[in-house]
């Protein structure tokens, strides 16, 4: 790359020198990203038309057979729906908590730092650790949740939370909301702190009540950050993996199966890497479409704000 | 949804009390304040309880754990940690994770700061395209590539190897880190750099001696975020490693869970060990972490 640039006619040798320096500085990053991100992405598409068992040197072409298998795989499509349910629960329950607590902490004159630090704690743990913690809290016989329910006489509410089909999905959702709401909280809080004070003062003089100030002053200012949080919540939910693997491993049956877990099992348990790659391609397209929507919305609302 | 309504209500009361103090009875204002603080504290309790419960359980005996609700054990059972460390394999997993985290953080800092510097301060043809491509990578999700990444590493002979894991993780950390560091370099004054160039400093000297020290807060934020990411990484470790001697701590933890059913108190001690460095780091550097997360998410 550097050679190609140097051979082009340039006004001065200094400019050429600067350009070569620039290429040398970005070279390591570009090479790494090309080899370990772009190439696997393309190879993944190729692999989705091949058959590979994970070991063999050869991976013969099989046409669209993998995609036909994926389209016939009801468990995979059910796992998409499950992930969407996590996303919707995270979206409405998690983001409502995020927004509510951000508004509350933003009002504090004292103690705001403490609550900001405390509320973000769930966001720092690994998804494996979150799974382990909730597995213990929700443990059927001696978990603290069932023990507490028993202690206050609500024995009828006790469940084997993670293996009972009626509560497994809700239990995993609870874990997702617990570790994901702090991110939305931080971003909402940053958004609230960006709302100019004068707007509130003007609204107060006009006699606006608390709700109408929130509705007409705060909320419009929060729309860009809300878009980002919405997409991050959906992306996070769709990619949920380790928490589910640790808590239920997709069970009972396939009730809490999620796409990434399905792809993992198809490749590394069933040794059908081609089919897994086809799932990856379809799933990846959905995720990227979502992310692009975010960028598009952010650009548009950012442009209007100027 | 039910949980959210009480969240908003006390807010309204507290705010309204300030807007129209003369018409609101004192008792109501006080009630609103109490409800508001109660809510803040209850949410903090739910945020912190699981980790407190984990740590408390990790120093109890199996009888205390299963017998009833024990807050503080009669005698703290620190041998739970010793058993997890020796028999649970954590004497291997923890040093592995320390090694991976250190190497990946240093690798990302070097490669991303070089690229971030060039993309912020050096003009060259194609700079915009490269920046666009780096940003494009951010939206390529791991679930879309991990199967193919595994095949690539198998083809290169790097599956089940430290090198393969490190290289994949360094690459994964580049886009957001480049983006954050580029922002830091762009905010530095141009005069210092110009003066150094006039004094005959080479481009590398300008980067290494002048710009890197100036961008120290950015480097610290990236280092902390990358450490957290690598320490908490699971999916790639699950896919790449067969050998226990190579496994990092999150992978080791699930390996330990699925092994011949370890006792609950040992599992809790093991989980605590997997999370302890993260808690210490958060206690020391929460400012960097919170700021980095906000920058990374909002701007990227």
Task: Give the pLDDT confidence of B152-169 residue by residue, as tens digits.
Answer: 999 899 989 999 999 999
Which residues on chain B are in Cβ contact (under 8 Å) with A259?
143
Smallest CA–CA distance, residue B233 to chain A, in Å, is 7
pLDDT bin (cut points 50, 70, 90) of residue B4 is very low
Query: CB distance from B300 to chain A under 8 Å?
Result: no
Contacts A101 to B, Cβ<8 Å: 7, 40, 43
- Provide the pLDDT for residue A301: 63
Contact A126 B148 (CB under 8 A): no
pLDDT in tens, A55-110: 888 888 988 899 999 999 999 999 999 999 998 998 899 999 999 999 999 988 88
Q: pLDDT band for position B205 (50/70/90)? A: confident
Q: Which two three-digit tokens encode residue B232? A: 């908490």
Instruction: Give per-residue pLDDT as tens, A10-25.
Output: 456 777 877 888 899 9
Confidence check: pLDDT of B113 > 50: yes
Mean pLDDT on B247-271: 89
Whether B34 contacts chain A with CB within 8 A = no
CB atoms closer than 10 angstroms to residue A254: 16
Cβ–Cβ < 8 Å for B76, B59: yes
Q: What is the mean pLDDT of residues B187-204?
A: 84
Percent of chain B residues past pLDDT 70, beyond the cut? 90
Q: With a cut of 50, which residues of chain A have pLDDT below it?
A: 1-8, 10, 303-306
The residue in chain A having the minimum alpha-carbon distance to the alpha carbon of residue B63 is A142
Q: Does B275 touch chain A (CB under 8 A)?
A: yes
Contact between chains at A129 and B275 (C-beta distance less than 8 A): yes
How would residue B9 be classed by pLDDT, with cut points 50, 70 and 90? very low
Domains observed in chain A: 44-300 (1.10.3720.10)
Of B7, B57, B149, the CB nearest to A36: B149
| Test mutation, B51, B144, B236, B281, chain A, max A CBs within 10 A | B144
B239 Cβ under 8 Å from any chain A Cβ: yes
The pLDDT score that the predictor gives to residue B2 is 38
> Token digits for B183?
């922002």
- String of b and e for B25-63 (b: at least 16 CB within 10 Å)? eeeebeebeebbeebbeebbeebeebbebbbbbbbbbee
- Determine the pLDDT at residue A302: 55
Mean pLDDT of B207-214: 89
* B9–chain A Cβ distance below 8 A for any pair: no
Task: Tell me how far apart the alpha carbons of residues B237 and A17 are, in angstroms, rounded to a whole number.
Answer: 42
Cβ contact B143–A136 (<8 Å): no
Quote the DSSP letter at residue B125: T
Q: What mean pLDDT do residues B69-84 have?
A: 86
CB contact under 8 A, A116 and B171: no
Q: Which residue of B has its CA nearest to A181?
A: B47
pLDDT band at B39, cuts 50/70/90?
A: very high
Determine, for residues B152 and A36 on separate chains, whether the beta-carbon distance falls below 8 Å. yes
Which residues of A fall within a CB distance of 8 Å from B43?
97, 101, 119
Predicted pLDDT at B13: 44
Of all residues in chain A, the one with the smallest CA distance to B280 is: A124
Across chain B, what does the average pLDDT equal? Answer: 86
Which of A35, A127, A291 shows the shortest C-beta gap to B234?
A127
Nearest C-alpha in B relative to A147: B69
The closest CB to that of A47, out of B44, B151, B274, belongs to B151
Mean pLDDT, residues B141-146:
86
Residue A70, C-beta contacts closer than 8 angstroms, at least 6 positions apart? A76, A275, A278, A279, A282
Does the CB of B66 have a partner CB in chain A at under 8 Å?
A: yes
Q: Closest Cα partner for A268 from B245, B162, B242?
A: B242
The residue among A6, A30, A29 whose CA lies nearest residue A17 is A6
Q: Which helix (H) or strand (E) holds B267?
A: helix B264-299
Closest residue on chain B to A207 (Cα) = B19
- What is the C-alpha to C-alpha distance for residues A96 and B270, in angstroms, rounded to an integer? 34
Q: Which residues of A touch B14 (CB under 8 A)?
A: 107
| DSSP codes joined into one string, chain A | -HHHHHHS--S-HHHHHHHHHHHHHHHHHHHHHIIIIIHHHHHHHHHTTB---SS-S---B-TTHHHHHHHH-HHHHHHHHHHHHHHHHIIIIIHHHHHHHHHHHHH-SSSHHHHHHHHHGGGGS-HHHHHHHHHHHT-TTT-HHHHHHHHTT-GGG---TTTSTTTHHHHHHHHHHHHHHHHHHHHHHHHHHTS-HHHHHHHHHTT--HHHHIIIIIHHHHHHHHHHHHHHHHHHHHT--HHHHHHTTT-STTTT--HHHHHHHHHHTT--HHHHHHHHHHHHHHHHHHHHHHHHHHHHHHHHH-
Least confident among B19-33, B228-242, B256-270: B19-33
Indicate the range of A101-105, A250-254, B24-28, B239-243 predicted with least confidence: B24-28
> Is B293 within 8 Å of A228 (Cβ atoms)?
no
Residue B11: the pLDDT is 43
Q: Do A22 and B127 touch (CB under 8 A)?
A: yes
Flag if A26 and B171 touch (Cβ within 8 Å): no
Find the residue in B nearest to A282 (Cα). B144
B215: contact with A, CB 8 A cutoff: no
Are the beta carbons of B152 and A39 separated by less than 8 Å?
A: yes
- Which residue from A18, A38, A118 is facing B124, i.e. has the nearest CB? A18
Q: What is the mean pLDDT of residues B259-272?
A: 86
B137, A33: Cβ pair inside 8 Å?
yes
């Amino acid at each position: 790359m550097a050679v190609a640039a140097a051979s082009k006619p340039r006004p001065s040798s200094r400019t050429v020198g600067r350009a070569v320096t620039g290429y040398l500085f970005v070279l390591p990053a570009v090479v790494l990203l090309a080899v370990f991100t772009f190439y696997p992405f393309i190879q993944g598409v190729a692999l989705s038309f091949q058959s590979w068992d994970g070991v063999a040197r050869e991976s013969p072409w099989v046409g669209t057979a993998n995609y036909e298998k994926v389209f016939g795989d009801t468990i995979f499509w059910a796992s998409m729906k499950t992930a969407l349910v996590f996303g919707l629960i995270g979206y409405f329950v998690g983001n409502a908590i995020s927004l509510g607590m951000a508004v509350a902490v933003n009002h504090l004159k004292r103690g705001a730092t403490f609550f900001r630090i405390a509320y973000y704690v769930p966001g720092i743990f690994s998804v494996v650790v979150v799974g382990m913690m909730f597995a213990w809290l929700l443990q059927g016989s001696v978990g603290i949740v069932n023990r507490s329910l028993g202690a206050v006489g609500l024995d009828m509410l006790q469940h084997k939370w993670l293996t009972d089909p009626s509560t497994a999905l809700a239990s995993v959702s609870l874990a997702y909301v617990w570790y994901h709401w702090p991110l939305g909280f931080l971003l909402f809080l940053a958004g609230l702190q960006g709302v100019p004070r004068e707007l509130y003062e003007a609204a107060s003089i006009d006699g606006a009540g608390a709700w109408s100030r929130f509705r007409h002053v705060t909320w419009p200012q929060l729309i860009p950050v809300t878009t980002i949080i919405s997409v991050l919540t959906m992306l996070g939910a769709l990619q949920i993996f380790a928490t589910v693997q640790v808590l239920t491993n997709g069970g009972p049956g396939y009730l809490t199966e999620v796409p990434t877990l399905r792809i993992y099992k198809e490749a590394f348990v069933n040794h059908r890497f081609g089919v897994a790659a086809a799932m990856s391609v379809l799933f990846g397209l959905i995720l990227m479409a979502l992310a692009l929507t975010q960028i598009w919305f952010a650009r548009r609302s950012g442009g209007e704000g100027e | 949804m039910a949980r959210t309504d009480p969240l908003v209500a006390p807010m309204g009361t507290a705010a309204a009390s300030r807007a129209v103090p003369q018409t609101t009875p004192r008792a109501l204002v006080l009630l609103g304040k109490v409800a508001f603080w109660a809510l803040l504290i209850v949410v903090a309790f739910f945020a912190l309880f699981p980790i407190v419960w984990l740590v408390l359980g990790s120093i109890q005996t199996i009888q205390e754990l299963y017998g009833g609700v024990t807050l503080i054990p009669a005698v703290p059972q620190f041998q739970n940690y010793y058993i997890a460390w020796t028999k649970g394999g954590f004497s291997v997993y923890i040093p592995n994770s320390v090694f991976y985290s250190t190497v990946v953080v240093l690798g990302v800092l070097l490669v991303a700061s070089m690229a971030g510097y060039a993309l912020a301060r050096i003009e060259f043809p194609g700079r915009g395209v490269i920046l666009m491509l780096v940003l494009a990578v951010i939206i390529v999700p791991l679930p879309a590539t991990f199967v193919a990444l595994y095949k690539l590493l198998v083809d290169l002979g790097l599956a089940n190897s430290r090198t393969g894991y490190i290289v994949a993780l360094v690459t994964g950390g580049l886009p957001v880190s480049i983006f954050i560091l580029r922002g830091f370099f762009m905010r530095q004054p141009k005069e210092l750099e110009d003066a150094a160039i006039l004094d005959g400093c080479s481009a590398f000297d300008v980067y290494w001696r002048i710009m890197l020290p100036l961008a120290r807060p950015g480097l610290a934020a990236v280092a902390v975020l990358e450490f957290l990411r690598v320490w908490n990484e699971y999916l790639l470790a699950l896919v790449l490693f067969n050998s226990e001697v190579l496994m990092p701590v999150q992978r080791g933890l699930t390996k330990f869970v699925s092994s011949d059913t370890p006792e609950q108190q040992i599992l809790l001690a093991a989980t605590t060990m997997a999370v302890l460095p993260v808690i210490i780091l958060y206690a020391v550097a929460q400012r960097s972490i919170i700021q980095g997360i906000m920058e990374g998410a909002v701007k990227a």
